[in-house]
Every structure is written in structure tokens, then in C-alpha cells.
Structure 1
Amino acid sequence: MPRSYDSLTLEEAKRMLTAAEAKAASLEVAYNVAVVDAGGHLLAFLRQDGALVGSIDLAIGKATTARLFDKTTAHLAELAQPGKPLFGIQQSNAGKVVIFGGGIPVMLDGNIVGAVGASAGTVEQDIAVAEAAIAALGRSPSAPKAGRSAQ
């Protein structure tokens, strides 16, 4: 019998992209933002007018990486430095692992249900845009909270 699991819905992904778009506008940077489902597959994508073409794959890669490893890409970047336990991880998964900050897993009801990736600005801006997307779900990007909201 197949296992079932919770995943982000398209409606939730749309709310996340709307919030990310607003944050990007406040930074005055055109962004690419990707939301993946619990399986790490693209659920929704935003490319603002003028966003860097090279950041399209980075945004998707950050979201996928955050879901594949259930860690923020910023944390993976720390762990992937020479002498650290995950040195070279960016070479795994056919080289599709992205370890620049801006990819964050999304937790609801204590489970990871997807992830978001943002790319176009500085690492700090990318993280802020991704965090804004998660905040649109009524959740803290750094800690899971009980209960799926009916927003």
C-alpha cells in the first residue's frame, strides 16, 4: 500500500509567492522564487520582470536541495566547507545541489511538507525573501508550529 504524506498545496504555494514578491519589491530586486512539494518537485514558480536568467535554476535548485536534505541551504553551505562533514556535497545528485543561502524547508504539523528557494540578490536578501514566503503561511521559518492553518 502506498504511503501518504502531507505536502504544500498550490494555494499555499501561491500565498508564499505573493509574500516573496512583496519582499523582493521592498528590496528593489527582481527575484526568481521556487516552491517545491514534499517530494521535492516544482509546485509553483515566480519570475519577476527583469530577474536574472541565471537565477532561475538557482532558485529551483535551492528549493529542491532544501527538501532533499531537510536543511537550509545556508546551513548546508557551512557544512560543505573544506574540513567539514559534508565537504563536496554540492557534487552529489548529478551536481544539482545548490548550497548558497536562500533555500529553506517548510514545516507544518511538525513535518517537512516542501521547501522554498529564492535567488537574485545577496545571500542575505535571498534568505529574507524565502523567510517572507514561509511567514505567509503563518509559520516561523526557523521553527515548526503545530496545526495547519486554514488561511
Structure 2
Amino acid sequence: MVQSITLDTAKELIDAAERKAEEIDNPMVIAVTNSEGNLVAQRRMDGAWLASVSISRNKAYTSAALDMPTHELAEPSEPGNSLYGLQSTDEGRMVIFGGGYPLFDDEGNVVGAFGVSGGAVEQDMEVAEAGVDQWESIRGDAHVEASD
């Protein structure tokens, strides 16, 4: 049985990230996926780039698929390193720069993932981390549901 993030929780996480995006005055697209990388919720703030819709979703997908933040993929994906070419796999859905984070339950299992796009990589990461911080403050069995 796979545990996955609920829609209500996804909305709460997106709200937290949107507040951070407003604080830094940068419109973003914010996506939350389930444990399998399938979209649960996504929000495009007014003025956010159209390209960020798919980028944010793919950042979340990458984090869910590989159980790691996307910024940790940059160096291993450089020419000559073990994951070189990763970004061209999985129908181009793999993202190797910051803004994607897995969401873990108390046992260390991925229950969802977060992806943000719309600014410089550092801004994407800062906004995504606000959502992850919100997850850390509320996580627990009340915020995940079982799925087959």
C-alpha cells in the first residue's frame, strides 16, 4: 500500500509557498504530486511564466521518481559523471536543477513531491522550501491517504 499526499494538504502546502513567492515578489507556478509523481494540485500565480507550468510539474515528478531534491542531480548529471544525460530520459521529464523536493512521511517513505518554477533557481528553491517546511510542521497520518 502506497501512502500519498491529500488534496487538502497539497493546497495548504501551495498556500505556504505562494506566501513566500509574494514575500520575494516573484510570481511562481507551484505543483504538488503524489508519491508516484502524478499531479495532485498546481497553482499558477498571476504573471508567472507559462513555461513554468510544465517545469514545476516535472521538478515534482523528478523528486518523487528519484526520492531526492532536484538540485542534488546537477553535479552527477555533468559530462563524465554517472548520471550524465539524465535530463534527456523519461520523455524529457527529468529536471536536474533546483526547485523540486520529495515529501517524506515519518518512516522516510516518499508520500508526495513539491516543484516550483518561475524565478532564478535559488528563488525556486526558497519558495519550494517554504512548502516543504509547511509539510514538516503538519505531516502525519492525517495528511496522507492509502492508494493502490
User: TM over 0.5, yes or no?
Assistant: yes
Q: Please report the TM-score for the alignment, with normalisation by the length of structure 2.
A: 0.90
Asked whether 1:48 is paired with 2:45, we answer yes
SS of match in other structure, 1:6: strand
Aligned partners of 1:138 and 1:149 also within 8 Å: no
Asked whether 1:122 is paired with 2:120, we answer yes
CA deviations on 1:65-118 (whole Å, 9 max, x unpaired) are 111111111001121011211010111101121112100001112211110000
For this pair of structures, how many residues does the alignment match? 141
Runs of 4+ in 1 over 3 A off after TM superposition: none
More helix by share: 2
CA deviations on 1:40-72 (whole Å, 9 max, x unpaired) are 100000100010111111000100011111111
Q: Please report the TM-score for the alignment, with normalisation by the length of structure 1.
A: 0.88
The residue aligned with 2:57 is: 60
Structure 1: give runs of 5+ residues left out of the alignment.
140-146
More strand by share: 2
Aligned partners of 2:32 and 2:40 also within 8 Å: yes
Paired letter, 2:26: V
Q: Whose relative contact order is higher, 1 or 2, with alpha carbons under 8 Å and at least 6 apart?
A: 2
User: Partners in 1 of 2:105 and 2:28 — Cα distance?
Assistant: 25
Asked whether 1:39 is paired with 2:31, we answer no
The residue aligned with 2:98 is: 101
